[in-house]
Structure 1
């Protein structure tokens, strides 16, 4: 698996996500449009949190985890904004972390894509396969954000 290709595809999804986030009006970030379960704010945080979990935690690179543990309560699997007990992490902080994440991942995982990983729900066998699976997951959320922006007009 070519390293440049894998990380370029991940970066492309992040670029799209950040473009959509930039187009999202401030007053629309925390609205749940009809037919959806979450907000755009939630999707942005979820991609950030799930990418770190899927790639770093599942590959055993726990020392590289950087996000505050409380992010999981807001953006982990099964969470939703209607369950939030207080204010979520700031939009601007999430955006800055999203901007940095692809380059950080590339730095931490350079020349490690072929390393085997423990059994996981993706059924990925290597770090590279975790990155590919996570990129597909991010793409799903990018699509949701795109649809939500249209629904919120």
Structure 2
């Protein structure tokens, strides 16, 4: 398996975990922003979908494949307002796996033939779509860690 095939597989496995969390976690838990935190589980899950589209599609000069409203609400620098409609949650659940499959198919079809260099907030410079796909694995791992921390804190609060 090539490094890139592995990156697609790791992303898909992570997204399956996020999908399960999104579907099985009560909405009030998803939306809760515990004291000391800036965001919630819901924001983190939607944020990884948005960021993958921006890193891979936008900087490759391709149209993103998700609703622009989601981008504006969950891109880097946004803060959740503590809400999430059933429609939004369902939409993001549907996008968790499909966006990875589209990315892999589009990459295989040679869609990403150029890339605008971008330096991330982690001070990593992405010069190609391959860089973006690999960096995205790291980014999603950070957010899975944040989600697991939030889940632990929120679960403890709920038991009190």
Query: Structure 1 residue 82: deviation in Å?
Result: 3.0
How far, CA to CA, are the matches of 1:18 and 1:95 in structure 2? 6
Where does structure 1 lack aligned partners over 5 or more consecutive residues? Answer: none
SS at match of 1:58: helix
Q: 1:135 to 1:151 in 2, by over 3 A?
A: same
Which residue is 1:79 aligned to?
78
Task: Point out the more displaced range, 106-115 or 32-41.
Answer: 106-115
Which residue is 1:105 aligned to?
103
Which residue is 1:130 aligned to?
132
Q: Conserved in 1, the CA contact under 8 Å of 2:39 and 2:80?
A: yes
Which residue is 1:148 aligned to?
150
TM-score, normalised with respect to structure 1: 0.85
How far, CA to CA, are the matches of 2:116 and 2:31 in structure 1? 36
Task: Point out the more displaced range, 113-122 or 89-98.
Answer: 113-122
**In the comparison of the two structures, how many residue pairs are matched?**
150
1:8-87 alignment runs, 5 A limit? 8-62=9-63, 65-82=64-81
Task: Point out the more displaced range, 2-11 or 97-106.
Answer: 2-11
Which residue is 1:91 aligned to?
89
Q: Which runs of 4+ in 1 moved over 3 A?
A: 86-89, 111-116
RMSD: 2.5
Query: Structure 1 residue 29: deviation in Å?
Result: 1.3
TM-score, normalised with respect to structure 2: 0.81
Where does structure 2 lack aligned partners over 5 or more consecutive residues? Answer: 156-160
Q: Conserved in 2, the CA contact under 8 Å of 1:71 and 1:89?
A: no
Query: Structure 1 residue 22: deviation in Å?
Result: 3.2
